[in-house]
Amino acid sequence: MERNELTKEIGKRIRNERRKQELNQEELAYRAGIHTSYYGCIERGEKCPTIETIIKICKAMDIPVSKIIPENNVPKLSPEERMLSALHKLSPDKQEYFADIIENIAELILCD
């Protein structure tokens, strides 16, 4: 699937999920923490969202990312993106705990 086609498909899937939840664009953009006009461009397939933005939108609708990204186009996430994705699923307290653990592990690895 070409980038332009993928961008349009992602926008269409986001719009369909938003409508299923009976949300308007403004409400979902607010919940996801992104600007309303940018969100509108995503839905219309005019802008290709980053994986981080897709994660924010999916989190705001409480749906898995796999509902938005076509299966044959799911990008392989870098370790940093995988950690960020896991972090977004946690409460603020658990995010702090997660950060402490990662820092401690990094220090142990650097000491070897």
Averaged over 37-53, what is the pLDDT? 95
The position carrying tokens 């269409």 is 12
| Residues 70, 12: Cα–Cα separation, whole Å | 11
Confidence of residue 45 (pLDDT cuts 50, 70, 90): very high
SS3 94: helix
Share of the chain above pLDDT 70, in %: 94
pTM of the model: 0.63
Residue for token digits 């690895």?
109
Domains of the chain: 1-74 (1.10.260.40), 76-112 (no CATH)
For residue 82 the two structure tokens come to: 């995988």
Cα-based distances in Å from 53 to 3, 36, 59, 102: 17, 13, 10, 23
Task: Render pLDDT for 83-106 as a digit per residue (tens, 0 to 9).
Answer: 888 888 889 999 999 989 999 998
